[in-house]
């Protein structure tokens, strides 16, 4: 459920581990076979080890051990000598999901009928069906929904209310409690979406379609909604000032080259930070007149089809392609590496120039604000100002809507228009065309 990027990836169980546990819990007769699959998938490097054989043997003998003690055994005997804090969090986050889903979702009437309808020779596919159903949402979405569902379950338990199936009238009272405590509509929306998610997985009707729940959601948006305070877009004049101050020197520092490349690429590609930080070195392709950048996923790319963004080369000092080439050359980045493009810097005493880890959001925000601190009021800008600035410049230049939306990876007109700040000339063109 949480992403791992090191040699111990296989030690953190994905949702398949959860579904295999569920299958075993529901079908004790298939316990031994199922747990050989679990141990083979979860701990391939320990298949021949003594502890793996002991664990597999115990799993095949005792249901209680397999459901509740086996995860603890796996962690303390197999993972503890090697795991980092991240592995620890990943492991127990996934176990938490498995137990909650076992107790609340996969024990519903729909799943009971499903298990009963599957003949014995197809039982090995049951867990795969559960895994596929869970994969209908991204891991981050599942984490969000799971947290919201846990809060609803705790509130219901505290008030002696049955949380599954959820009663719309009781959910309305729960939403009223959230409205009284919340400062924005987000907790209310999260609660409704989370309950809907669990109900849908269990084959139960959504609570959001009930008139009272729907009215509570609309009321929360009206009562708790606040006017959005948008940051100002970055302008071409600001970027020219940045490039002049950072790279006009014959020997700019690697830090300055990274700053200029980050700002110019973010501006020219209309990139969100989530997209900037996901760009890998191997996603860059240089051509004589442009650079092509592959985005494996983005906010609006729900099915992860990926998209190529092309940025033209220019003869100006603010050419994003030239800035990117200078940064890559100075950082000695290999374009065949499956590592982030924009990374943290190492000490000058180190043999390599950059770390393997990418930039965090807070660090990237610091870099952008520090870059423009002598140019504009940095309290009015953020990382999103780069995307908004590029979109504003393109809109005021009269770029066709189809190309505009495709370059910025927007799906709706409203989302696209929200990034554009029309200049005075564009606004005056309306009244000038009235013939008076």
- Secondary structure (DSSP) of 162-221: --SSPPHHHHHHHHHHHHHH-SSSHHHHHHHHHHHHHHHHTT---STTSHHHHHHHHHHH
Pick the residue with more confidence: 41 or 422?
422
Close Cβ partners of 326 (under 8 Å, ≥ 6 residues apart): 247, 252, 257, 261
As a 3-state breakdown, the chain gives helix, strand, coil percent values, each rounded to 5, of 60, 5, 35
Pick the residue with more confidence: 421 or 415?
421
pLDDT of res. 36:
41
Identify the top-confidence range among 69-78, 251-260, 398-407: 251-260
Question: In the chain, which segments carry CATH 1.10.443.10?
Answer: 236-424
Question: In the chain, which segments carry CATH 1.10.150.130?
Answer: 140-224
> From CA 251, how far away is CA 254, in angstroms rounded?
9
Pick the residue with more confidence: 66 or 422?
422
Can you name the CATH fold of 140-224? Answer: DNA polymerase; domain 1 (1.10.150)
pLDDT of res. 97:
53
pLDDT of res. 246:
85
pLDDT of res. 216:
95
Identify the top-confidence range among 124-133, 341-350, 367-376: 367-376
Are 276 and 384 contacting, i.e. CB atoms less than 8 angstroms apart? no
Average pLDDT over residues 205-216: 94
- Over the stretch 185-208, which tens digit does the pLDDT of each residue have? 999 999 999 999 989 988 899 999
- Over the stretch 87-136, which tens digit does the pLDDT of each residue have? 555 555 555 555 555 567 777 888 889 888 989 888 888 878 877 887 78
> From CA 269, how far away is CA 185, in angstroms rounded?
32
pLDDT of res. 143:
78
- CA 272-273-279 angle, to 5 degrees, is 95
What CATH number belongs to 236-424?
Answer: 1.10.443.10
Average pLDDT over residues 8-14: 39
Pick the residue with more confidence: 299 or 216?
216
What is the arrangement of strands in the sheet containing 307-312, beginning at the earlier edge strand? Answer: 284-286, 290-295, 307-312
Identify the top-confidence range among 72-86, 109-123, 202-216, 401-415: 202-216
Identify the top-confidence range among 58-67, 95-104, 227-236, 293-302: 227-236
Average pLDDT over residues 155-160: 92
Q: Which of 38-47, 79-88, 173-182, 282-291 has the lowest mean pLDDT?
A: 38-47
Q: Is the pLDDT of residue 253 over 70?
A: yes
Q: Is the pLDDT of residue 218 over 60?
A: yes
Are 38 and 95 contacting, i.e. CB atoms less than 8 angstroms apart? no
pLDDT of res. 394:
85
Instruction: Share the mean pLDDT of the chain.
Output: 75
Question: 284 in helix, strand or coil?
Answer: strand
Residue with tokens 């005792």: 62
Q: Which of 65-74, 155-164, 295-304, 384-393 has the lowest mean pLDDT?
A: 65-74
pLDDT of res. 103:
64
Tell whether pTM > 0.75: no
Average pLDDT over residues 316-327: 92
What distance separates the 2 farthest-apart alpha carbons in the chain? 91
């Amino acid at each position: 459920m949480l992403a791992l990027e090191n040699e111990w990836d296989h030690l953190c169980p994905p949702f398949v581990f959860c579904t295999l546990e569920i299958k075993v819990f529901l079908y004790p007769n298939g316990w031994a076979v199922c747990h050989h699959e679990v141990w083979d998938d979860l701990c391939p490097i320990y298949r021949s080890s003594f502890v793996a054989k002991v664990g597999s043997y115990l799993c095949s003998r005792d249901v209680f051990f397999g459901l509740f003690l086996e995860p603890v055994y796996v962690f303390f005997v197999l993972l503890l000598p090697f795991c980092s804090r991240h592995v620890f969090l990943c492991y127990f986050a996934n176990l938490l999901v498995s137990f909650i889903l076992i107790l609340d979702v996969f024990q519903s009437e729909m799943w009971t009928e499903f298990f009963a309808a599957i003949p014995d020779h197809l039982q090995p596919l049951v867990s795969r069906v559960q895994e596929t159903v869970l994969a209908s949402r991204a891991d981050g979405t599942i984490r969000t929904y799971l947290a919201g569902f846990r809060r609803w379950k705790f509130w219901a338990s505290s008030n002696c209310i049955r949380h599954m199936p959820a009663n719309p009238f009781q959910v309305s009272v729960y939403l009223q409690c959230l409205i009284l405590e919340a400062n924005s509509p987000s907790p209310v929306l999260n609660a409704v979406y989370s309950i809907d998610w669990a109900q849908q997985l269990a084959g139960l009707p959504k609570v959001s379609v009930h008139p009272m729940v729907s009215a509570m959601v609309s009321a929360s948006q009206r009562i708790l909604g606040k006017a959005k305070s948008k940051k100002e877009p970055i302008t071409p004049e600001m970027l020219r000032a940045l490039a002049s101050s950072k790279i006009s020197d014959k020997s700019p520092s690697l830090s300055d080259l990274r700053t200029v490349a980050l700002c110019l690429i973010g501006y020219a590609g209309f990139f969100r930070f989530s997209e900037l930080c996901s760009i890998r070195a191997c996603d860059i392709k240089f051509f004589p007149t442009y650079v092509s950048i592959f985005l494996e996923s983005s906010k609006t790319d729900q099915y992860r089809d990926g998209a190529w963004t092309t940025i033209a080369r220019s003869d100006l000092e603010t050419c994003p392609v030239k800035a990117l080439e200078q940064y890559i050359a100075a950082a000695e980045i290999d374009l065949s590496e499956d590592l982030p493009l924009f990374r943290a810097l190492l000490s000058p005493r180190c043999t390599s120039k950059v770390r393997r880890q990418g930039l965090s959001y807070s660090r990237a925000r610091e870099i952008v604000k520090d870059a423009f601190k002598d140019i504009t009021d940095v309290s009015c800008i953020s990382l999103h100002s780069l995307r908004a600035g590029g979109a504003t410049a393109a809109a005021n230049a009269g770029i066709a809507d189809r190309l505009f939306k495709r370059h910025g990876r927007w799906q709706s007109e409203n989302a696209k228009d929200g990034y554009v700040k029309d200049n005075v000339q564009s606004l005056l063109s309306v009244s000038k065309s009235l013939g008076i």
